Homo-oligomer: A and B are copies of this chain.
Amino acid sequence: MSNTEYKFEGWAGFGPDSVEGKLKFIEYEPKQFAEDDIDMKILYCGICASDISTLSEGWGELKDMWPQVVGHEIVGEVVRVGSNPKNGIKKGDIVGIGAQCDSCLQCHYCNKDKENYCSKGMTGTYNGKFSRTSEGSKSYGGYANYWRGPSHFAIPIPKELDPAEAAPLLCGGGTVYSPLVEHGAGKEAKNVGIIGLGGLGHFGVTLATALGAEVTVISHSARKQKDAEELGAKHFLITGDDEAKAFKGHERSLDLIICTSNAPDMNIPAYLSLLRPGGNFIFVGIPEGGQVPTIPLFAMVMGNVHIGGSLIASPQTLKDMLQLVADKKVKSWIQKWSLDKVNEAVPSMIAGNARYRYVLVNEKNGGKL
């Protein structure tokens, strides 16, 4: 189908029950190859919570977007380049693709290294449609053998990095790194709080620490306290069921809070009490149909604090992050699964077993378990 010596094949969902271990291996038609595209032989792909929220239709019905091959934390080897490759990419390079694989590349934001906020919207690495080239073609993700898409969004993986560990940095890592840098973690924001120690939260701890911040993990129970400390956190706040009580004595101890949790009943004013004047509380994800509290006007005005949001990371931000990870020898905590066992890995991820990110390994292509 793809006019190449290799086929585009991957594990596809055909309905919301696909997350229950019902992904099927199929061949599919990728976008038409454009001169700034690459083809990549996939070695590793992280399992992101977004994969599950998409497949389960937790973020909305997929309708004509079925079947879905998800996965947007992809690392692999470039096997084809066109006449106009970006990022200096050439055949044989090891590169990564995160949650975004295209944008208009012409607007103010695309020109300012903010492609993730492109004025015309982004093309997601899966569940998206291309428009700049091969208009209308569906995008397919990384639970697959090959990937095709714009080289502009392919991030060279520094040679010092383990490519399997690099994979989950491309979405999970970048998603927390971007607001950490935006709000000065380690610089004007010396004290950083990370709410929730999951896939994103564990990167929040390692990356904020690498940036020079002192990290406080805020978690529901003490269950992950030892992990938090090993990851680099200096403080651990246990909320139990009463955040206001738990935070007594810790008022104004943080400059920045990254919220990787999506509990709909969070006591937002209590969290804001942890912030110093000028501080920011940043959501990095959208819960599945989750309710959120009302705007805590009194706490915001009296405390000079801000609530904001941040969406994934731009290619330049991902490059900066990977360089920091290489320079500071930051470790990702991952467990590897053979891609062939994806129908076991996804339910295990949903069950909350990852510590802290699952990475699918394409052994056929040379990925190492």
Chain B hits for A119, CB < 8 A: 252
A297 near B309: Cβ-Cβ < 8 Å:
yes
Q: CB within 8 Å of B: which of A280-305?
A: 280, 283-287, 290-295, 297-305
A249 at the interface (CB under 8 A from B): no
A350 at the interface (CB under 8 A from B): no
- Copies of the polypeptide in the assembly: 2
Contact of A308 among B114, B283, B294, B304 (CB under 8 A): B304
Residue of B nearest to A307 (CB): B307
Complex Cα distance, B297 from A114, in Å, reads: 20
Complex Cα distance, B182 from A305, in Å, reads: 12
Complex Cα distance, B112 from A277, in Å, reads: 11
Chain A contributes a number of interface residues (CB within 8 A of B) equal to: 36
Complex Cα distance, B179 from A304, in Å, reads: 9
Complex Cα distance, B117 from A5, in Å, reads: 66
B309 near A302: Cβ-Cβ < 8 Å:
yes
Residue of B nearest to A299 (CB): B309
B278 near A182: Cβ-Cβ < 8 Å:
yes
A301 near B285: Cβ-Cβ < 8 Å:
yes
Complex Cα distance, B105 from A157, in Å, reads: 52
A307 near B304: Cβ-Cβ < 8 Å:
no
A62 at the interface (CB under 8 A from B): no
Where the two chains meet, the residues of A that have a C-beta atom closer than 8 Å to any C-beta of B are 109, 114, 117, 119, 182, 252, 268, 277-278, 280, 283-287, 290-295, 297-311
Q: Could you pull out 22 A-B pairs where Cβ atoms are within 8 angstroms?
A: A109-B277, A114-B277, A117-B277, A117-B303, A117-B304, A119-B252, A280-B306, A283-B300, A284-B301, A287-B297, A290-B297, A292-B295, A292-B297, A299-B309, A300-B307, A301-B310, A302-B309, A302-B311, A304-B309, A304-B311, A305-B309, A307-B308
List 6 tightest A-B contacts by C-beta distance, closest first: A300-B309, A306-B308, A301-B309, A117-B277, A292-B295, A306-B306
Known contacts A109-B277, A287-B297, A301-B310; 18 further A-B pairs (Cβ under 8 A): A117-B304, A119-B252, A182-B304, A268-B295, A283-B297, A283-B300, A283-B301, A285-B301, A286-B298, A286-B301, A292-B297, A293-B294, A295-B307, A300-B308, A300-B309, A302-B311, A304-B308, A305-B308
